[in-house]
């Protein structure tokens, strides 16, 4: 975070210097200053991206790894795209993108519960734990398995990327599930939408969340979990900037599972 702040201050100071000296005016016959400004700007955004990627993420709690072990109800297999939770269901499948910088296994308990109840799940593992770098991984999963209905979704940034995937591939899916997330692209009217958000969520931008409701399909369903927060969908500890939940993670995830099951069935 300190590195990002320092780079940003230097970037602002650089542009202020160029403007004050009049080096960016069109009347300036020498375009070298403008070219340098563009190159510096590109470099700045690349460095910010690299710093964000390399920042410390959220590790899955030890208990979460128990849910990636097969049992009598759900067979859990490691596949190229992530994890496959194969339960008794045969009709519908759910492809899930993890939140930014969250170790994917943190969501295994919730997805294992879904699989036990008849919705097979795919937990996508993405480079640097950033869903934007694996947004089209759903294609490999859909092409490789045979289900009548496909749903995509995710938590936070993962949900946003799932929304973009759904918007670009509406012919392949039946619906989208947003957990503390919103879509910046319009969702096709034929695709159902379920949006779940915790009452105490301190991370999501509520103003952007509300303004992007216009991108939902007309029959969208919204669930506000009383006492829930941003991090309650996974087992990865507390998240910076989040508010305290007044319910347990287990309760928040159970309400989420119940809502998803109702939505899909």
Q: What is the per-residue pLDDT across 156-193, written as a single tens digit (0 to 9) for each?
A: 999 999 999 999 999 999 999 999 999 999 999 999 99
Q: What is the pLDDT of residue 55?
A: 55
Q: What is the pLDDT of residue 58?
A: 96
Whether the predicted pLDDT of 221 surpasses 60: yes
CA 171-172-177 angle, to 5 degrees, is 105
Taking the model in full, what pTM does it have? 0.81
Whether the predicted pLDDT of 225 surpasses 70: yes
The residues facing 78 across adjacent strands are 83
3-state secondary structure of 79: strand
Q: Where are the beta strands (DSSP E) in the chain?
A: 75-79, 82-86, 92-97, 120-124, 149-155, 175-179, 192-198, 221-225
* Total Cβ atoms within 10 A of residue 138: 24
**How do residues 89-124 score in pLDDT, each as one tens digit?**
999 999 999 999 999 999 999 999 999 999 999 999
């Amino acid at each position: 975070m300190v590195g990002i702040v320092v780079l940003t201050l230097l970037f602002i100071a650089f542009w202020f210097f160029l403007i004050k000296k009049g080096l960016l005016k069109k009347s300036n016959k020498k375009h070298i200053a403008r070219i340098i400004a563009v190159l510096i700007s590109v470099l700045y955004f690349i460095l910010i991206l690299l710093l964000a990627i390399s920042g410390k993420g959220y590790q899955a709690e030890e208990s979460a790894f128990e849910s990636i072990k097969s049992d009598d109800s759900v067979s859990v297999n490691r596949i190229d795209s992530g994890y496959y939770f194969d339960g008794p269901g045969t009709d519908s499948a759910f492809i899930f993108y993890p939140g930014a910088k969250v170790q994917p296994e943190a969501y295994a308990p919730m997805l294992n519960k879904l699989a036990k109840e008849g919705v097979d799940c795919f937990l996508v593992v993405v480079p640097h734990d950033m869903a934007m770098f694996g947004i089209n991984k759903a294609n490999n999963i859909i092409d490789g398995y045979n289900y009548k209905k496909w749903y995509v979704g995710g938590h936070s940034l993962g949900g946003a990327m799932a929304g973009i995937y759904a918007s670009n591939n509406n012919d392949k899916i039946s619906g989208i599930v947003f957990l503390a997330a919103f879509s910046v692209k319009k969702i096709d009217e034929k695709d159902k939408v379920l949006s779940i958000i915790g009452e105490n969520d301190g991370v999501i931008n509520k103003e952007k969340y509300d303004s992007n409701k216009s991108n939902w399909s007309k029959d969208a369903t919204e669930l506000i979990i009383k006492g829930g927060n941003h991090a309650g969908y996974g087992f990865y500890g507390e998240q910076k900037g989040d508010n305290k939940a007044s319910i347990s993670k287990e309760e928040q995830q159970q309400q989420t599972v119940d809502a998803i099951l109702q939505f899909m069935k």
